[in-house]
Amino acid sequence: MPASTGARRRGAVRSEEARLAVLEATGRLFAARGYDHLTIEGIAAEASVSKQTIYRWWSSKSAVVADALIEDMLLPDRPVVPDTGDIRADLIAWMQDLVDLVAQPGNDGLVRSLVAAACESPDIGARLNDALGITATVSTRIEAAVAVGQLPADLPVMEFVRALVGGFVLHSLERTEPAPDAAERLVRALLH
């Protein structure tokens, strides 16, 4: 670790090309076959990189996935919570976007794969909320609703969001065809 000052490093420098190839390959395989069928050797082959190059920089499969998650290689464009002033309608619209997203052909196992990864790695678990767009979009929208009095001032925002996303995740784990009004029902369960 040749850090800030003094100890300068000598020798070849890390190949950014290889690094990106690994993360992109991880994203492709993750989407195509899911987290549990992901293997280091498979990633290496897909990225046209040697296995050692992966082991040199990442300690495990979950570390690679965590990095790919950070660099936005795993998830397609995440829905954004709209702000029409009506918090209920906005949350329903957002949840519906989420439902539609995972209903698309290639994305059936996507949530399950993410959750599986989170089960295995604390790093990914901590970022699971972020991955589904919570901090970035939902909680700020909730706080705005609290500010204008649409929601009680003492609402535990973090827990509220967790319940919302958690309900969505549990539903995904059940693998049942989501009802047409699934998004609306889930939001209504929280906003009654």
Partner DNA sequence: CCGGTAATTCGCAACGGTGCGTCCAGTTAA
Partner DNA sequence: TTAACTGGACGCACCGTTGCGAATTACCGG
Q: Which residues bind DNA (CB under 7 A)?
A: 2, 8-15, 18-19, 39-42, 48-53, 55-57, 60-61
Nearest to 71 by CA among 143, 112, 130: 130
* Backbone torsions φ then ψ of 42, nearest 5 degrees: -65, -45
Site string for a copy of itself, 43-82 (x = CB under 8 A): ----------------------------------------
Site size with a copy of itself, rule: CB under 8 A? 43
Own/partner contacts of 43-48, CB < 8 Å, gap of 24 or more, are 47/18, 47/21, 47/22, 48/21
141 binds, among DNA, a copy of itself, none (CB under 5 to 8 A by kind): none
Does 122 participate in binding a copy of itself (rule CB under 8 A)?
yes
Site string for a copy of itself, 151-190 (x = CB under 8 A): xx-xxxxxxx-xxxxxxxxxx-xxxx-----x--xx-xxx
Rounded Cα gap, residues 88 and 45, in angstroms: 47
- DSSP state at residue 65: H
Does 120 participate in binding a copy of itself (rule CB under 8 A)?
yes
164 binds, among a copy of itself, DNA, none (CB under 5 to 8 A by kind): a copy of itself
Own/partner contacts of 45-52, CB < 8 Å, gap of 24 or more, are 47/18, 47/21, 47/22, 48/21, 49/18, 49/21, 49/22, 49/25
What residues line the site for a copy of itself (CB under 8 A)?
Answer: 36, 112-113, 115-116, 118-120, 122, 125-126, 128-129, 151-152, 154-160, 162-171, 173-176, 182, 185-186, 188-190, 192
